[in-house]
Chains A and B, each alone.
Chain A
Amino acid sequence: MKRKATVGLKIESDQKVDRPSPRSSVLQSAREAKWILLIWFASFVWTLGYCTRYGYQPVDPSQLNLVMGMPHWVFWGVVMPWVTTMIVSIWFALFCIRDDELGEEPPESGGDS
């Protein structure tokens, strides 16, 4: 089984193993979980930081500040962090989550093969 290198995570790359040791897999999953929490926290800080600062101010309908047809706080405080988080999520899923072996199919639960 080929296990790919991941960007930004300290894990062994291109190792040929039959099955990862449970401990190696646990540590890797825990490491990935920490990075995921960091991504979530970054999106939290951006969204809540921007919206709290600019999204709670009263507006004058004759002097609207719109970006792509939506209020500017929605564009910069929700749309942009959403798109960024989506791109980071995709990058993380494809390149940072290690392709670990999930284990043998338990004999009592059957299987397709």
Chain B
Amino acid sequence: MFSEANTALLTFLFYTVAVFLLAILSNRVAKGKEFVGEYFLGSRSFGVWAFALTFAATNASGGTFMGFPALIYTHGWSLALWIAGYMALPLVSMAILGKRINQIARQSGALTIPEVLKARFHSERTGLVATSMLIFFMFFYIVAQFKAGGKILTTLLADDPIFQSIVQGTGSLVAPIPWVNQADPDYLVCLLVFAVAVIVYVVYGGFRAVVWTDVMQGIVMFVGVVLMLGLTLYQVGGLESATKQIAVMTPPEFGEGVLRLPPKGDAKPLEQDLFIPKGMWIIDGDQVVRVAESTVIAAGFQHAEPIRLLRLTTESERQRVRDSVASQISPGMELQVEVEKWDAYQYGAGQTGVYITNPGPSETNSLGFLAIGSAISFFIFWPFAATGQPSNLVRLLSFKDTKTLQYSVVTVSVYYAVIYFSLVVVFCCARVLLPGMEIDPDRTMPDLATHLTRVAGIPWLAGILVAAPFAAVMSSVDSFLLVVSSAVVRDLYQGSINKNASEAKIKKLSYQVTIVVGFLAMCFVLNPPKYLQDLIVFATGGLAACFLVPLVLSLYWRRMTSTAAIAGMMGGTLMHVVLTGWGYYVEQEFRAFEFLGLNPFLWDLVGSVGACLLAVLLGPPPESETVREYFSE
């Protein structure tokens, strides 16, 4: 019944049906309740499992199951140190602000983060600045997640014959439409399906549906990772065996080269085009080479156009490939590889042991993957950037009592410890099981899932394993979509434009805004800009830089003023923009400058704290009535 080709499609169909069912159920539960509080915050009624898993799942985005495994595979055990900041993340990001922000939100009736700031200072201006910042940064985030959703689905469904026929039909359908026809048809189909699915269930079910699907997706992620851990350790012969094999590995080499048919005397000339797919192995004498992009040797020709190739440098890896890949093209026809120069890694080339120690190998950085300054920065960045993310903060407004917060810290602490450390172990072992994934590291997760289940003789299980990254993206994008919609409807429209809007009007507008934001994001990524991945980093860092310090000081410091909150938001944002501009000027890449080798987020926080303190010291004291309201005995 199940084959490798259709498990992903079945998984996706199962998922879509499940989330729609949850949305319908959520819509029924919401009937009879006040609309805005229910739609944007689920009536602040979530218990331990719902709150804990929505928090955990929102944090674990597509990067956790696509980008992170790719990094582990490429750089080895140093990723254990890179991700170590997550050990304190649940406690820091949930418990430092959780109780206090929930209390203030209840006291003031606030449903969004800008509303909390507005209520804390009784200042429309503060709320408006927070809303503008939030919409600005969040839009980049949503756009990026939509792209990730489309890409992941494309990866998962790539081998499915039904999907391929749909893609062909779509390709000819959109061919005459300008701009749309520039997108790859497979990506276009996946983006459309993903976007429609997410928009529909968010619009229909609201925050409650988002939380319920997060719970389901959180469970899928957990089960998927634990199953992968067991299968991987079994197939690799135990962790000790894997680490010993990784220890002798040296990084591969990349080169631009030509694939050539053997001299004419040795082989028949080609009567038809020979397609050489991406990922194919070529064994040319002692060389074991992998094709990093598809190419064709046309009929009558002896060679293809130059393409990017990868060459293995470790004998044990070469032997594994020789054993498993006898020949992937016609019998008797062996290609020859011609490469003028193989490029070695900037750090770690030819060094054994480089994958099991820091800083880890790097193709582009001569200091290695994780210099000590970067390790320090990431240990600070992970927990505190998570604390300042509005999609996390808004969840802190939704738990029903302190007990829920307490047990959720327990749940998320265990959840993250299991998930993240298991991923490090699994994808370090993947180096042994799947050589040469450096040609497309983002495919490591789905390819490993397929490999593990095929070897174990249970291909249907691949469906559950590959569902994890899809679940992760979906659970992030739904949350961001709702945060932006609430900012527009609740903070801008109801807060500033039409304070006495009827419930029916707000309801209609909420649906419209969610659809429009989702549709805009989808259109924006039809042809994703080149630097989209960097925009994600820009948006994540920007949001935390903007909100963390002003919120902490607003919640805990009596002397904090509305002017200082605005100054803090602007200070953090300005520092973030300046460092990004500086980085672009120096490196010619859309990436913030790492002053003194430290993560730009640390400098953003310095900027934000400095601006807040300056504004408090130079400005008038806060109104005593406001202080009494939130701090007095």
A-side residues, CB < 8 A to B, are 21-26, 29-30, 32-33, 36-37, 39-40, 43-44, 47-48, 51-52, 55-61, 64, 66, 68-71, 73-74, 77-79, 81-83, 85-86, 89-90, 92-94, 97-112
Contact = CB atoms under 8 A, between A and B. Distances in A.
Contacts of A104: 106-107
B358 A93 contact: no
Given A23-B633, A93-B95, A109-B109, 6 more contacts: A61-B247, A66-B243, A79-B80, A82-B84, A106-B37, A111-B44
B625 interface: no
Contacts, number: 216
15 contacts: A29-B555, A29-B556, A36-B92, A44-B380, A56-B358, A61-B247, A64-B244, A70-B425, A74-B81, A85-B88, A90-B409, A90-B413, A98-B402, A100-B402, A106-B108
Contact of A89 (B91, B109, B351, B372): B91
A93 B414 CA distance: 13
Interface of A is mostly: helix
Contacts of A73: 357-358
Going nearest first, the 6 A-B pairs with the smallest beta carbon separation are A69-B239, A110-B34, A109-B37, A106-B109, A93-B409, A69-B240
Interface of B: 33-34, 36-38, 41, 43-45, 77-78, 80-81, 84, 87-88, 90-92, 95-97, 99-100, 102-103, 106-109, 111, 238-244, 247-248, 351-353, 356-359, 372, 375-376, 379-380, 383, 400-403, 405-407, 409-410, 413-414, 417, 421, 425, 555-556, 629-633
B607 to A, nearest CB: 20
Given A109-B37, A111-B43, A51 B375 contact: yes
Contact of B34 (A83, A85, A108): A108
B80 A78 contact: yes
A55 B102 contact: no
Contacts of B103: 22, 25, 100, 102-103
Contact of B106 (A43, A82, A90, A102): A102
Highest count of chain B CB atoms <10 Å: which of A51, A58, A93: A93
A110 B109 CA distance: 10
Given A58-B351, A60-B353, A79-B421, A105 B106 contact: yes
Given A71-B243, A92-B91, A44 B379 contact: yes
Contacts of A100: 99, 103, 402
B377 to A, nearest CB: 11
A86 B413 contact: yes
B contact face: mostly helix, strand, loop, or mixed: helix
B556 A26 contact: yes
A85 B100 CA distance: 23
B43 A110 contact: yes
A109 B44 contact: yes
B29 to A, nearest CB: 9
A82 B409 CA distance: 15
Given A22-B630, A58-B353, A105-B106, A32 B77 contact: no
A103 B106 contact: yes
Nearest to A60: B353
A108 B87 contact: no
A59 B352 CA distance: 8
A83 B45 CA distance: 31
A15 to B, nearest CB: 15
B43 A86 contact: no
Nearest to A42: B88
A60 B353 CA distance: 7
Nearest to B428: A70
B247 A64 contact: yes
A70 B428 CA distance: 10
A36 B351 contact: no
B549 to A, nearest CB: 14
B252 to A, nearest CB: 17
A40 B243 contact: no
A56 B351 CA distance: 14
Contacts of A29: 99-100, 555-556
B90 A103 contact: no
Nearest to A52: B372
Most buried by A among B402, B414, B425: B402
A48 B375 contact: yes
B243 A109 contact: no
Given A22-B632, A52-B372, A82-B417, A89 B37 contact: no
B357 A47 contact: no
Contacts of B403: 99
A47 B380 CA distance: 12
Contact of A26 (B33, B421, B631): B631
